Every structure is written in C-alpha cells, then in structure tokens.
Amino acid sequence: MSEPDSMDTPAPAGPVLALDTATSAVVVGIVDDGVTLAERVVHDHRRHAEVLTSLMQQVLAEAGVTGGELSAVVVGTGPGPFTGLRVGMATAAAYADALGLGAYGVCSLDAIAAAVDESGEVLVVTDARRREVYWARYRDGRRLAGPQVSAPDAVVIGEAVVVAGTPEFTDRYDLAVSAVTVPTAASLTAVADLGAQPGPLTPLYLRRPDAVLLKDQRRKSLLP
C-alpha cells in the first residue's frame, strides 16, 4: 500500500469505478465515499474479456451513475496471470482515458488483505498456476512481505494468524481461513491513493508470460 507523497491533492469527490481481473474472478463495482453502490463478481477465469464490459454497464445502471459522473477508476494490477490481468488493466486505462479520468493501480493482494476484517497478521495467497501461488503478508494494513511467487510450501508464513485468498490453497496452512477470496470494489478503492496524482498503470506479473517462456525454450532447443 502506497505512502502519500508531497504532491498529494484532495481526493476526487464522487463515485469511483473499481475493477479487478487478477484472480479467477472478475470484480467490478461502484463505490462512493466508502459505500458500495453496486458490485458484480463472476468466477470464471476463461471469460474475463467476455464479461468485463457488460458487468461495468450493469453496475453503472444499478448504481444510477453515468460515466460522466465518475471521479476516478481504480484497477487491480496483480500479481496475476498475464492474459486476465491485461484485460482488466487495458479496459480501465481505455475507459479512464475516454472520460478524462485518473486511473489508479493497486496491488490486488493489498485489496484482498484490506477486505479481511480480523486482527493480527494476515497472509494472502492466490493461484499463480503452474502449482505456484502469489503471496504477501500484512499487519494493520501494511504489507510486511511480498508480493512474491513461489511454491505453496515455500510461502513465508511469519506470524500470520489468518489466511485469505484462493480456497484451493488457503487450506494448506495451519491458520484460520478468512471468507475473503478475491478483492472487493470497496477494498480496491480503500487501498488506492486517490489523493495522489495518478501514474502509469504497471502490471505486477512477477514472472514472464508462458508465451515468452515457450519461445525461449524453442530457441534453446535450436542451439548447438
């Protein structure tokens, strides 16, 4: 979670569009002054591109908000799989640019941790595929370690007392399991530094995409 800088300005007033495609779910919502006006969550990693735009239209309609009434766009920047993450970030950037709004990127693991309403150190783990997880550890809203990608058994648990994130992995640890599995629109907005000048959206891939790795493997196979 970012620290405010000397260039901070008053946070934009008005509804915020928040979205995240860094996990297997597509999360889209409208948040105004900490209150979620509308939210949609679809768990299907194969349909990120297909459902994202329609979900945005649905939450705007339900919240009774037009694009011109939005004050900012917040998007999860991962870590997450290459294709799904690109869908959300490209959509957020294009939508914000079309409306002349600031687009604010936040670490998706930070947003998951912010949605956990329990005291003590929090471990967040999400599916990185290839039998690995993305993980980070938090206390009182501050990131202590990560984000990193590793095998589930290599995660540094530290003093964590609760784990949140992808259910297929959270039950591997001898910790209390939170019901929070993905970011929420409210938690994405909560960790965004809306009082700062928006910078470029930078994805947290933590490793190269499969296509690049496959290309490298083929290149090596041609070497004498």
State pLDDT tens for residues 193-210: 999 999 999 999 997 554
Asked, colleague to colleague, whether 16-110+182-208 and 113-177 share their fold, the answer is yes
Q: Tell me the pairing of strands 160-165 and 176-177.
A: parallel
For the stretch 49-98, pLDDT in tens is 889 999 999 999 999 999 999 999 999 999 998 888 999 999 999 999 99
* Domain assignments of the chain as residue spans, ordered by start: 16-110+182-208, 113-177
Domain 16-110+182-208 has CATH 3.30.420.40: yes
- Lowest-confidence region among 118-122, 187-191, 211-215: 211-215
Phi first, then psi, for residue 148 (nearest 5°) are: -140, 165
Q: Could you tell me the pTM of the whole model?
A: 0.88
**Residue 149 identity:** V
Other C-beta atoms closer than 10 Å to the C-beta of 87 total: 19
What dotted CATH number matches 113-177? 3.30.420
Q: Which residue has the tokens 């090596």?
A: 220
- DSSP letter, residue 54: H
Query: Shortest CA distance to 125 belongs to which of 116, 133, 114, 113?
Result: 133
Region at 132 (left for phi over 0; alpha for psi -120 to 50; beta for the rest):
beta
